Chains A and B, each alone.
Chain A
Amino acid sequence: MLEVTGLRVAYGGIQAVKSITFHVREGERVALIGANGAGKTSTLKAIARVLDAAGGDVHCAGQDITCLPPHEVLGSGIALVPEGRGVFPRLNVLGNLLMGAYIRNDKAAIAADLEQVYGHFPRLKEREKQLAGTLSGGEQQMLAIGRALMGRPRLLLLDEPSMGLAPLMVQKIFEVIRTVASQGITILLVEQNARLALEVSQRAYVMESGRIIHTGPAHELLVDPRVRAAYLGE
C-alpha cells in the first residue's frame, strides 16, 4: 500500500529524517514510535506532502506520490489527521466534516459517510451546530479524524492522536481507530505513547534521531527489553 524508500526531510541544515525506508501493507495497522524529535511527525508530513522531502521517494498503491502537489494527495487515497487536530475553528462541526469531503461531489455517498462518522462519534452528532473552536480537545480530535474519513481515504495517517487528551478520551479515540481499521482502511499511526500505539497496531517501527532503529510485530516489541527500557518506562 505505502512504500517509503530512502526518505529524507531537512529543516534548513538540520536533518530531521535521515533516509528511512519502510512499508505499510494494505489493511495493516502500523505504528511509528519514538521519543520527541525522533522525526516521526516530519515523516508523516512528508508523506502527506504538507512538507517537502529532501530526498527519497514515496509510493502509494503503486503510484509515485513524491512530487504530487499537496492538494492531490487526498485524491490518491491518503488522508492526514494533523498533529494538534487542525480543525477549522470558526466552522461548525458539520461544516468541518463537509469540508473533509471537499474533493468529492457524490452527494448521496457523502451523506452516507456523514452518518457513518456520526455513528463512530455520536458526540459529534450532538454538537453538529457547534463551532469547532469551542469543542473540547477530545471532541476536536474526533472531528479531525471524522473529517479525514469524509475524504474516503484508503490510508489514514494519524499524528499523535492521544496528545493532550484525558485517558478516557484516549480510550475512545483508539477504539474508533480499531473500528476504522476493521473496515479495511490502512492505518499509519505516529505516537509518543508507545504502549498505546503498540497495543493498537500489528507492526511498528521505532525511530530515533531520524533513523529507524527497530522493527517488528507489535506484540514482540511490547516485550522487547530494549523497547521496554527506552519507551515503555520500565
Chain B
Amino acid sequence: MKHPFLHALLRLPRHSGVLAVSGSLLLLALPIVAMWGGQAWVRILDFAILYVFLALGLNIVVGFAGLLDLGYIAFYAVGAYTYALLASPHLGLHLPFWVILPCGAMLACLFGVLLGAPTLRLRGDYLAIVTLGFGEIIRIFLNNLNAPLNITNGAQGINLIDPIAIGAFKLSGRTDIWVYSLNGPQKYYYLLLLLCTGVVVINFRLQHSRIGRAWQAIREDEIAARAVGINTRNMKLLAFAMGASFGGVAGGVYSAMQGFISPESFALNESIMVLAMVVLGGMGHIPGVILGAVLLAVLPEALRFGVVPVQQVLFGKVLVDPESLRMLIFGLALVLVMRFRPAGLWPSPERQRELAEAKS
C-alpha cells in the first residue's frame, strides 16, 4: 500500500496544478526564509539562479545541438562588460538597464556567431579546443584592453557599476514593502527568478519546436540531418547565437548585482563549472540541468559553512583548511555521480531508456 502523499505525488496530472502553486510559493518565499541564515544565504540563492540561467543557455548549445563549448563563459563576460561599460563612472555612461541588457544580449549573440562561423566543420574534441581558446582570448583581451586606450580597465576591473533601477526604485539597498524590508540580494533574487522562468519557458518551447528537432538531428548525425533537408549551417549558428545571448543577459545582471567585475571572474574554471552543471544534471534534459546548476552552485557554499563546525565536533579543532577540503569533497562528489549516474542525476526518459537498452 502506497503512502497517500507519495500516491498523490505520483499521479502528477491531477495534482500538477497544486504542485505548481506550492512550488511557486516556495520559490517566492525562499529568500525571506534564507534571510534567517543571514544575507550570505540569499546571495547563494541569487547565484544558484544565475547559474541555472547560464546552464540553460549552455544547454542549448551542448545539450540540444550537441556542440561541446568550453568557452561559454566568454559570452557571460561580454554581457557583463557591456553592462559595466555602459553603466558606470568608468566611461561616464549611465544608460538604463532596459537599453543595456538587450545590447549585451545582441553583442554576445554577435560573438556567438563569430565563434560559430569558423567552427562549423568542427565537432567534439576539436570544437572543444577551439571554443576553449576563444574563451581565453576574450578573457585576455579584457585583461589587456587598458592600453593604449583604457577600455576595460585591465586586471583592476570596473567598479561602482550602477544597480538595475526603474525610475527611483533601485534593486540595491533596502526597500520597505508593507511590513517587510527587502534587501538588495532579495530583490535581485526576484528579478533573476523572473528572467529564469522566461529562459525555462523558452527552453521548453525550443526543445519541441521545429528548431529543436533540427538540433536533435544535427546532434545525432550531421550528414543524415543534411540529407533530410536541414540547413545544418544556419541551425548550428542559431544554437551558438541563442546560447550566447542568454549568457550575455546573465552577465549583465551579474554585473549590476555585484557592482564590480574583473576578468578574473570569467576564467576557464567558470566555463567548466557551467558545463559540469549541464552534464551532471542530465544533458539536454531541462529539469536535470536546473537540478545540476542548483546543486553545483549551492553545494560548495554549503560545504564552506559546514566543514568548520563538523571538524570542530569531530576533532575538537580545525584540521584541514575549509577551502581545500571543500574542493576535495566537491570533486569527489562529481566523480561519484558520473560513476553511478553516467547520464546525469536526472536524465531525460529517452536517455535513461537508452542506457537500460545498452545494458541488456
Name A's B-contacting residues (CB within 8 A).
Answer: 48, 50, 69-75, 79-80, 82, 86-92, 98-100, 102-103, 130-131, 133-134, 147-148, 151
Contacts and interface: CB of A to CB of B under 8 A. Distances in A.
B223 A99 contact: no
B217 interface: yes
Contacts of B214: 102
B230 interface: yes
B224 A87 contact: yes
A147 B228 contact: yes
Contacts of B354: 90, 131, 133-134
B230 A102 contact: yes
Given A70-B226, A88-B221, 5 more contacts: A50-B226, A74-B229, A99-B217, A134-B354, A134-B358
A134 B357 contact: yes
A89 B231 contact: no
B341 interface: no
Interface in B175-222: 210, 213-214, 216-217, 220-221
Contacts of A102: 210, 213-214, 217, 228-230
Nearest to B217: A99
Interface string B219-256: 01101101111111000000000000000000000000
A74 B220 contact: no
Contacts of A72: 229
B353 interface: yes
Nearest to B224: A86
Interface residues of B, number: 22
A88 B216 contact: yes
Interface in B103-138: none
B342 to A, nearest CB: 15
B321 interface: no
Nearest to A85: B224
Nearest to A87: B224
Given A75-B229, A131-B357, A82 B223 contact: yes
A90 B223 contact: no
Nearest to A132: B220
Contacts of A89: 220-221
B222 to A, nearest CB: 10
Nearest to A69: B231
A75 B227 CA distance: 10
B285 to A, nearest CB: 13
Contact of B232 (A71, A79, A103, A147): A71
Contacts of A48: 227
Nearest to B357: A134
A134 B354 CA distance: 8
Contacts of B232: 70-71
Interface string B66-80: 000000000000000
Contacts of B227: 48, 50, 70, 74, 79-80, 82, 86, 148
A75 B228 CA distance: 9
Contacts of B210: 102
A184 to B, nearest CB: 21
A225 B350 CA distance: 54
Which among B220, B232, B358 has the highest number of chain A CB atoms within 10 Å?
Answer: B220
A191 to B, nearest CB: 19
B221 A87 contact: yes
